[in-house]
Amino acid sequence: MKHKITAISFLVVIFGVFFLSVFKETDEFSSSERRRLAQFPELTTESVLDGEFMKDFNDFAVDQAALREEFRRVKAFFDLNILRKLDNNGIFVYNDMVFKTDYPLDEQSVLRLCGIINAVRDLYLDDSNNVWYTFLPDKNMFISDSGYLVLDYDEMQSLIHNALGDMAYIGIAGELSLNSYFCTDPHWRQEVLLPVAEKLAAGMNAELNLKSFTEERFDEFYGAYYGQSALNMPPDELIWLVSELTSRAVVHNLEHPGMRFPVYDTSKFRAVDPYSLFLCGSAAIVTVQNPANNTDRELIIFRDSFASPLTPLLLGAYDKITLIDLRYINPAAVGQYADFNGADVLFMYSAGLFNSSESVRGVSAADT
């Protein structure tokens, strides 16, 4: 009797999920995973014969299964707490923080990004520019003694320093700790970045007044790792720093010509990624103009998403700050939108992008 009950229960679950999946409305997007879900593939003779239809249908069936989120949570809990696996699809929890495995060190990727930095310097910069670079550690760097697989950050930095030669370096890792990062997201928290801003400003011979900021907050920030982990983690608190400078500054985004944006766009709390609160989020070129300043200094930052919350803290030293993200624009086209003459230039990339630099667009021989 026990075996019959088990078999019947199994069939009820299998066919129940099947029928629910057949009759439920197709979802286009997973907010927890921040990605588009597979849709029903086009049925053609060619797609059936070459096997593409069944491959795409399998992706569709997995993405559109009923109770998918519930099954993801059960699997994650079972893998981490019952089977005692170190991670679930590369995601793991340590000291109540969620991490993503980034291992091993990809030396070719690191050298590729360094090569792009050097090529951009040769293409646009000359003696009129003061040029620096910095290395942004990810939060995995601060759990190197945890037993989990983490990058060899010393080796990575050695590769970077050797490849970038005589370019001036500003180290900021000493101003950071594990508590500088969100629990459910890979990024750092803005309210702890004042010492980082001071270190960068001092390295660039710029003067800052960081005493005039007040805090505003959003209590339910679910970071990128929250959905990927499929665990019921508590949300982070997202804090941003406001001053007269940030309130008066105007943001322009190359992808929205003619439009003006605030430094902090709180409407992004309703977007897929609330972290895009800072300076419109990821974009090819973003400029921040500060009408309250008269320093006659401009800063151009080649960056990834980590620069977005840091940039508002540097507004006191510059009339204009331009952010350039080479994941979204070809380096050869940058000169059409940015004037490098006399500008300070900072290359600021995170460890994660150095180790996975394939998304960064390179400079071809024809462009140099």
pLDDT value at residue 52: 78
Distance between CA 94 and CA 116 in Å, rounded? 35
Q: Please, which pLDDT band fits residue 290 given cuts at 50, 70 and 90?
A: confident
Res 249: pLDDT: 95
pLDDT over threshold 90, residue 203? yes
Residue 10 is predicted with a pLDDT of 47
How many Å apart are CA 35 and CA 227, to the nearest integer?
A: 10
pLDDT at 6: 57
Residue 269's pLDDT band (cuts 50, 70, 90)? confident
Indicate the pTM of the whole model: 0.84
Q: How far apart are CA 111 and CA 119, in angstroms?
A: 12
Q: Is 160 helix (H, G, I), strand (E, B) or coil?
A: helix
Domain map (residue ranges) of the chain: 2-99, 106-367
- Which range is least confidently modeled, 22-26, 181-185, 223-227? 22-26
Q: Is the pLDDT of residue 365 over 70?
A: no
Task: State pLDDT tens for residues 121-150.
Answer: 999 999 999 999 999 999 999 999 898 999
Across 196-208, average pLDDT: 95
Reply yes or no on whether the pLDDT at 190 is more than 60. Answer: yes
Q: Is residue 17's pLDDT more than 50?
A: no
pLDDT in tens, 345-361: 999 999 999 999 999 99
Q: Which residues pair with 251 in a beta bridge?
A: 261, 288
Whether 220 shows a pLDDT value over 70: the answer reads: yes
Q: Give the C-alpha separation, 241 to 192, whole Å.
A: 10
Q: Answer with the residue of higher pLDDT: 295 or 201.
A: 201
Work out the pLDDT band at 368, boundaries 50, 70, 90: low
Percentage helix, strand, coil for the chain under 3-state DSSP, each rounded to 5: 40, 20, 40
Q: Encoding tokens for residue 25?
A: 């409305």
Structure confidence at residue 366 as a pLDDT band (50, 70, 90): low
| Confidence band, pLDDT 50/70/90 cuts, at residue 20 | very low
211 compared with 159, residue with greater pLDDT: 159
Q: What is the pLDDT of residue 19?
A: 43
3-class SS at 142? helix
User: Could you report the per-residue pLDDT of 145-175, keeping only the tens digit for each?
Assistant: 898 999 999 999 999 999 998 999 999 999 9
The pLDDT of residue 212 is: 86
Spatial neighbors of 215 by CB under 8 A, at least 6 apart, are 191, 239, 240, 241, 242
Write down the mean pLDDT value for the chain.
87
- With a cut of 60, say whether residue 1 has pLDDT above it: yes
The closest alpha carbon to 278, from 345, 329, 318, 323, belongs to: 323
- The pLDDT, as a whole number, for residue 18 is 45
Instruction: For residues 318 and 297, give the distance between their C-alpha atoms in angstroms, rounded to a whole number.
Output: 5
pLDDT value of position 25: 67
When pLDDT is averaged across residues 1-14 and rounded to a whole number, the result is: 55
